[in-house]
Amino acid sequence: MRVTALIENTALSPEFVCEHGLSLLLETANSVILFDAGKSDSFLLNANRLGIDLQKVDLAILSHGHNDHSGGMEAFLKLNTHAPLYLRETALDTHLSLKPGGVASISVDISPELLKTERIHFTSGKERIGENLLLFTSSIGKGSTADSNQTLYILRNDRVVADPFLHEQNLILTEGNKKTLITGCAHRGIVNILARAVELAGQPMDTVIGGFHLSSPSLGTTEPDWILRKIASALLEYPETQYYTCHCTGLAAFQKLQEFMPGRLRYLHSGEQILV
């Protein structure tokens, strides 16, 4: 499988654009998948520079209801007129984030006309969307979640409350005997999500790719070292798993994790392609 970071917070080289967002292209033997669409349509520029034809995408997935993952989805749905979009219905709720100037909306912005089409598929807590593709949610288990989650909210019954991230979903992709876990932001905790993926798959993941949400860019904070060390220790319990991270993990947290788990973690930049 080839994985391309179409957009991420950093760029592989000056020829690629970057933004605070995430979009991954997953090219398997059976299908081409767009996993998230960044904060804007900038991911289209990187796709063009890489010679990628997004009209060949077979299906799209939205990992959760934040606009740094959904901002370019409408542009994609207009460019590609056949690929279905899989998302949790709660991804369309009102989502909010605490910024230096106060609470602001970070909700999905896809036109009502597109959301009413047959291309939109609302998923359950565990749903197979292809022979080798399993979408799932996770509970908050023994692994801690990030303190930066405390700045994220939803609007429920006209009240602003803490976001339980019921709108988040993750992907297990199977190719032969290999299992790959793809996350968007891992708001429910990368350790919890990975444990659930292993439970569902009946075997360890070969590769884990995505954001781990260990920083808050709006507040300029990073998880403390003791939390990062605890996360690294839990990830190292899977000795054969290779990890790639990006986006909401934050560079400072990535560098610490890499120090705590040498040789097991790499960063994935806008424009970068890997084979797994």
Nearest Cα residue to 133 out of 239, 38, 26: 26
Q: What is the structure's pLDDT at 142? A: 55
- State pLDDT tens for residues 179-227: 999 999 999 999 999 999 999 999 999 999 999 999 987 778 899 999 9
Q: How far is the CA of 175 from the CAs of 2, 100, 196, 252, in angstroms?
A: 11, 44, 19, 33
Q: Read off the pTM.
A: 0.97
Residues of the chain below pLDDT 50:
none
Structural domains for the chain: 2-275 (3.60.15.10)
Q: How far apart are CA 92 and CA 129, in angstroms?
A: 20
Q: What is the pLDDT of residue 145?
A: 64
- Give the N- to C-terminal CA distance of the chain in Å, as an integer: 5
Q: State the Cα–Cα distance between residues 144 and 222, nearest whole angstrom.
A: 15
The reported pLDDT for the residue numbered 35 is 99
Give residue 175's pLDDT. 96
Please give the full DSSP string across 23-36, using - where no structure is assigned: EEEEE-SS-EEEE-
pLDDT of residue 271: 98
- Check residue 48 and give its pLDDT: 98
